[in-house]
Amino acid sequence: MSTLLAAEGLTKSYGRTPALRGASVEVRTGEILAVTGASGSGKSTLLHCLAGIVRPEEGTVTYGGVRLDGLDEERLSELRRTDFGVVFQFGQLIPELTALDNVALPLLLAGRPRAAAHQEADAWLERFGVRGRREVRPGEMSGGQAQRVALARALVTEPKAVFADEPTGALDSLATEQVLTSLVHTVRETHTAVVLVTHEAQVAAYADREVSLRDGVVQETSGGFGPTGSALAPSSEVAR
């Protein structure tokens, strides 16, 4: 399995508080990588560096042979519109837009005609089991429904990688299972890599591989590589 993204020796501080202290990690094509650790260990900062949202103070982030930390903001924004998808804990859907319009938005921003964008968005809502909520606004959805809409929006451009920062942190156990099952099933079909930040062992169990952060440093790696590796039961079952 080839390397899609690689971070080497990342450091990042917020004021006098260090978040990353020389963190290094690889993300492989098509794998689900869980990034775990205690609160304040640097998980979200590592994800944001990998996604080009935050620039490290030292170290490199390489994607497809190109250093992200060396790109200007315009090029980084373009990558986030095309090659990367991002999902946050509370989805961050636009409250004034319906589910259909939320999912279609990245396509519209890329210049896709409205009819074609809505058609593709409709298909992605169907894949995540929320097509029945297509005309509903986020405030009228359950947390699990809103998060599946957010995942559809992140994947509608068919990115190479999706960065999910505690995507089930605000959900109950049933909604968590539904969201993760939908995510794993979909990325297996599309061969999309996922970087999944979580502090919950049951969520990390859906990944192929796990890296643990402690005080801003990657401490260990566990799990197999890809759908045929030694991933834990949830992802293995969905993959079949």
The whole-number average pLDDT for the span 94-118 is 95
Q: Examine the pLDDT at 223 and tell me if it is beyond 60.
A: yes
Residue 146 shares a structural domain with residue 180: no
pLDDT higher for 7 or 167?
7
Domain assignment of residue 213, yes or no = yes
Lowest mean pLDDT among 145-159, 198-212, 215-229: 215-229
Q: Examine the pLDDT at 24 and tell me if it is beyond 90.
A: yes
Q: Which band of pLDDT confidence, cut at 50, 70 and 90, is reported for residue 92?
A: confident
Last residue of a domain, one of 123, 140, 158: 158
pLDDT higher for 125 or 219?
125
Domain assignment of residue 88, yes or no = no
Q: Which band of pLDDT confidence, cut at 50, 70 and 90, is reported for residue 91?
A: low
Radius of gyration of the chain (CA): 17
Q: Is residue 102 a contact partner of residue 94, using CB atoms and an 8 Å limit?
A: yes
CA distance 163 to 214: 20
Domains of the chain: total: 2
pLDDT digits (tens, 9 = 90+) for 119-146: 999 999 998 889 999 999 999 999 989 9
The pLDDT assigned to 235 comes to: 39
Residues 6+ apart with CB under 8 A from 119: none
The pLDDT assigned to 175 comes to: 87
Residue 23 shares a structural domain with residue 75: yes
Q: Examine the pLDDT at 221 and tell me if it is beyond 90.
A: no
The pLDDT assigned to 11 comes to: 97
Domain assignment of residue 145, yes or no = yes
Pairing of strands 3-14, 58-63: antiparallel
| Mean predicted lDDT score pLDDT of the chain | 88
Domain assignment of residue 194, yes or no = yes
Q: Which band of pLDDT confidence, cut at 50, 70 and 90, is reported for residue 237?
A: very low
Last residue of a domain, one of 109, 125, 158: 158
Question: Coil, strand, or helix at residue 101?
Answer: helix
Residue 48 shares a structural domain with residue 139: no
The pLDDT assigned to 236 comes to: 39
Domain assignment of residue 195, yes or no = yes
Give the Å distances, CA to CA, from 38 to 18, 52, 201, 207.
15, 23, 12, 18
Residue 177 shares a structural domain with residue 151: no
Q: Is residue 229 a contact partner of residue 208, using CB atoms and an 8 Å limit?
A: yes
Q: Dig out the tokens for 34 from the structure.
A: 């869980």
CA distance 183 to 189: 10
- State CA 36 to chain mean position distance: 14
CA distance 12 to 54: 9
Residue 22 shares a structural domain with residue 59: yes
With b meaning 16 or more CB within 10 Å and e meaning fewer, what string describes 20-47? bbebbbbbbebbbbbbbbeeebbbbbbb
pLDDT higher for 76 or 223?
76
Domain with 180 in it: what CATH number? 3.40.50.300
Residue 7 shares a structural domain with residue 62: yes
Q: Is residue 127 a contact partner of residue 151, using CB atoms and an 8 Å limit?
A: no
The pLDDT assigned to 80 comes to: 84
Domain with 111 in it? 93-158
Question: pLDDT above 90 covers what percent of the chain?
Answer: 63
pLDDT digits (tens, 9 = 90+) for 170-183: 888 888 998 899 88
CA distance 218 to 41: 10
